[in-house]
Amino acid sequence: MPYFIYRVFPLRRLEKVTDKRSFGEASVEAKALRASPDRHGDCTIKVIFAADEREAENLLSQVREKAPGLAGDE
């Protein structure tokens, strides 16, 4: 399964950048995109491991609940 790299914009708009066969390659590419001066200010760069683009976009579109923690540990 490949690692997909996406730009994630507000309102969960997704833009696929590329996909890589290994996590190492995907990580290097994502770090370069995050450090790029041409990067859009309102997006985040995400790496996702999925079987195909449809699954990757589904996973990135899901709203994840905050992990449980101790009371007052905000």
> pLDDT for 3-16, tens place per residue?
999 999 988 899 99
Based on the structure, what is the number of domains in the chain?
Answer: 1
pLDDT in tens, 34-67: 998 888 778 899 999 999 999 999 999 988 787 7
For residue 45, give the DSSP letter.
Answer: E
The answer to whether position 49 is within a domain reads yes
The answer to whether position 73 is within a domain reads no
3-class DSSP state for residue 28? helix
The answer to whether position 66 is within a domain reads no
Look up the domain containing 39 and give its range: 3-61
Q: What is the pTM of this model?
A: 0.81
E strands, the chain, in order: 3-9, 13-20, 44-49
Backbone angle region of 6, left / alpha / beta, with phi > 0 → left and psi within -120 to 50 → alpha: beta
3-class DSSP state for residue 56? helix
